[in-house]
Chain A
Amino acid sequence: MTMRKLFTLDEIKKSLLVALWFMVLTFPILAVRVNPIYKVVEWRWHNLLMVGIGAFLLSFPWRYFQGHGKPPEKSAAAENQALKNSKILLWRRHPWVRLCAVVLATGLVLSFPFLFSSYQVNIMTTALIYVVLGLGLNIVVGLAGLLDLGYVAFYAVGAYSYALLHLHFGLSFWLCLPIGAGLAALFGILLGFPVLRLRGDYLAIVTLGFGEIIRLVLENWNEFSQGPSGISNIPRPGLPGIEMSLNASSIFLYFLMIALTLFTILVVSRLRDSRIGRAWLALREDEIACQAMGIDKTRTKLTAFALGATWAGMGGVMFAAKTTFINPASFTFLESAIILSIVVLGGMGSMLGVILSAFILILVPEYLRAFSEYRMLIFGAVLVIMMVFRPQGLISNVRHRYRFEGLKTPPEELG
C-alpha cells in the first residue's frame, strides 16, 4: 500500500468506523465514572473524543504496517540466508560477541539485587517463577503439542506440598523442593492417564476441569488445606545457621530463583534434543506414524505431562516460600491462562521466546501500575497487536539444523 492510496475516501471511511468502534468499546471505562460519594454519574465526553481521534489517526499506520507485515514468499535458501544475517544470531557466530554478552548478562544478573530496591527484586523473582512455569508448560504444549489448560493445578500441588508438609511435619524448604516436584509429577501422571486418548479441544476441556477440581478441593476441604483462609507463616528458605533479614532473604530467594531458572533451561534444552524430545515432536506431528516407528505413545505422553508438571511443582514451592502465605485464590484458571499466554506469545516450543515473553507478560503489568486503571487495557492491546503482527510468537521456534556439506568450518548450528 503506498502513502497515496492510504488517504482515499474508502480508507478514511474505514478509519472512521474503527474510531467509532473504539469509542463504543471504551465507553464504559473511559466515559462513565460513578462518583460514589455524591452518588452521581460523571460523563467524561472529552475522553471519548480523544479515543475517537486517536483511533482514527492510529488506524492509518496500523493498516499501513499490516500491509507490510506480510513478507513476500521467500525461498528456503533466501530464508536460510536471512537467518544467517539476522542480528539475533550474530552473537552465536562471533565467539567474542558471545563472550561479551555472557559476561554482561552475568554481571547484570549478579548485581541486580544490589542496584535496585527490594520491590524490584521481588518482582524479578516473580517473573523468574513464571519463566520456569512457562518453560515447564512449553514441554507439554510446545513440544508434545498437548493443550493443557489446567497447568496451574500442578503449581498448586507444589505450593501446598511445601505449606502442608511444613505445617504438619515441619519439613524444611530444601526437603520440600524435590518432594513438591515429585508430587506434582505424580499428579501429572494421574492427569495423564485418563486423557491419553484425547487430543486438541477435548484434551483442553479435560485439563481445564482437572485444574478446577484441584482448586475446588483446596477451597472446600477445610480439614486438609484450611480452605479459603489459606496457610500462612510459611518460612522463607534459609541456610542452616544463618539468620537473614527480610531484605537479605528476598535477595537470597532471587539468587535461588536464578539458579532454578538456569537449571530448568539446562534440563529442558537437553530434553528437547534427546530421544524423548524427538519423540514428543514426532507425536505432535503425527500419532499414527509415531506408533509405526515403535514409539510407546502412552509412555511418551505421560513423561511429557510428568516432566511438565515437575517444573510447576518446583515453581509452586518457590511461590509458597516467596509469599509465605498461600490460599486457593492464587491458583485460578486465570493463572493457567497467563502461563499459556507466555508459551503462545513466546512462540510454541521456542525456549528463548518463552523466557522473553514471561518477562514481558509479568513485568509489563507490574510497571504499568502507574497507569492504574488503564493498565489491563494496555496489556490487552499489547496482546492483540502481538497476535496480529507476529502470530508465530516473539521468537518462532527455529529448529536446529546441522550442515555437513561444503563447509570448511566444523558443523555449525543454524537455529
Chain B
Amino acid sequence: MLRINHIHTFYGNIEALKGISLDIAEGEIITLIGANGAGKSTTLMSICGVVPPRRGEIYFRGTPIHDMATDKIVALGICQVPEGRRIFPILSVMENLEMGSYLRRDPQGIKSDLDYVFDLFPILAQRRHQAGGTLSGGEQQMLAISRALMARPKLLLLDEPSLGLAPLIIQQIFEIIVKINRENRTTIFLVEQNANLALKIAHRGYVMENGIITLSDTAANLLGNEAVKKAYLGI
C-alpha cells in the first residue's frame, strides 16, 4: 500500500533520515519504534509532505507522492494524527470533527462517520459543544484520532498516541486502534516510544536509530529479540 524507497530528509543541513525504506501492506498495523530523535516523527512528516524528502521515493498504491503537496496527499487518503494531538483549541469538539471531513463532499457519509466516532468514543458525544482546548489530555487524543477518522483515511498515521497519558487511558486508546483496524480494514502506521504496547498490537515492526532502520521483523519476533528487549523494553 505504501512503499518508501531510500528517502533522505533534511532539516536545513542536518540529515534526519539517512535512507529509510519500508513497506506497509493493506490492512496491516505497522509500528515504528525508536528512541527520542531517531527520526520517527520525521518519517511521518515526510510521508505527509510537510517536510518532503530531498532524495528517494514514496509510493502510495503505486502513485508517487514524494513531491506532492500535503493537501493532495491527504486527499489520496493518508491522514495523520500529529504528535502532541494538535487539536484546534477554540473550536468545539464538533467543529474539530468537521475540520477532519474538510475535503469530503458526501454529507451522508460524514454523518455516518460521525456516528461511528461517537460510538468509538462516547465521551466526545457528551462534550460535542465544548471547546477542544478544555478537554483532558486523553479526551484530546481521542478527539485527534476521531478527527483523522472523519477524513475516512485508507492509511492512518499515528504519532505517539500514548504521549503524556495515564496507563489506563493508553490501554483504552490502543484497544480502539485495534478495533479501527479490524472493523474498517484501515491500515495503520503507528509511531511509538512505548515499544512494548505498540509491538503487542502491531503485525510487524521497524526499529529506528539515528535516522536509519536497524531492524525489521514481525512484531512477535521483535518482542522476543534480545537487543530490542534490552534497548526499548527495559527487560
Chain A interface (Cβ < 8 Å from any Cβ of B): 76, 275, 278-279, 281-282, 285-286, 288-298, 399, 401, 403
Contacts and interface: CB of A to CB of B under 8 A. Distances in A.
Given A275-B102, A278-B98, A294 B75 contact: yes
B102 A291 contact: no
Interface residues of B, number: 30
B74 A294 contact: yes
A295 B89 CA distance: 17
Interface stretch (B78-86, B172-180, B201-209): B78-86
A76 B91 contact: no
A286 B99 CA distance: 12
Contacts of B74: 291-294
Contact of A278 (B50, B71, B79, B99): B99
Contacts of B95: 278
Contacts of A298: 69
A401 B151 contact: no
Nearest to A405: B129
A279 B98 CA distance: 11
B151 A293 contact: yes
B198 interface: no
B100 interface: yes
Contacts of B147: 293
19 contacts: A278-B102, A281-B88, A282-B99, A285-B89, A288-B82, A289-B82, A289-B87, A290-B99, A291-B74, A293-B102, A293-B103, A294-B74, A294-B75, A294-B79, A294-B102, A296-B71, A298-B69, A399-B90, A403-B129
A294 B103 contact: yes
A291 B88 contact: no
A293 B88 CA distance: 11
Given A281-B88, A293-B147, A293-B151, 17 more contacts: A278-B98, A278-B99, A281-B91, A285-B91, A286-B86, A288-B50, A289-B86, A289-B88, A291-B71, A292-B80, A293-B100, A293-B102, A294-B74, A294-B75, A295-B102, A297-B70, A401-B129
Would you list the 6 A-B pairs with minimal beta carbon distance, nearest first? A294-B74, A289-B86, A296-B71, A285-B88, A292-B80, A294-B103
A contact patch SS = helix
B162 interface: no
B168 to A, nearest CB: 26
Contacts of B100: 293
B48 A292 contact: yes
B130 interface: yes
A76 B92 CA distance: 13
Interface string B53-95: 0000000000000000111001100011110001111111001
Contacts of B87: 286, 289
Contacts of A285: 88-91
Contacts of A275: 102
Interface string B180-206: 000000000000000000000000000
B70 A291 contact: yes
A63 B79 CA distance: 52
Contacts of A401: 92, 129
Contacts of A292: 48, 70, 74, 79-82, 86, 148
Contacts of A295: 71, 102
Contacts of A399: 90, 92
Nearest to B147: A293
B134 A76 contact: yes
Contacts of B91: 281-282, 285
A297 B71 CA distance: 8
Contacts of B89: 285
A296 B81 CA distance: 17
A298 B75 CA distance: 16
B102 to A, nearest CB: 5
A76 B151 CA distance: 30
B99 A293 contact: yes
Contact of A282 (B48, B81, B88): B88
Interface string B157-173: 00000000000000000
A356 B81 CA distance: 41
Contacts of B88: 281-282, 285-286, 289
A298 to B, nearest CB: 8
A399 B129 CA distance: 11
A288 B71 CA distance: 11
B154 to A, nearest CB: 13
A279 B102 contact: yes
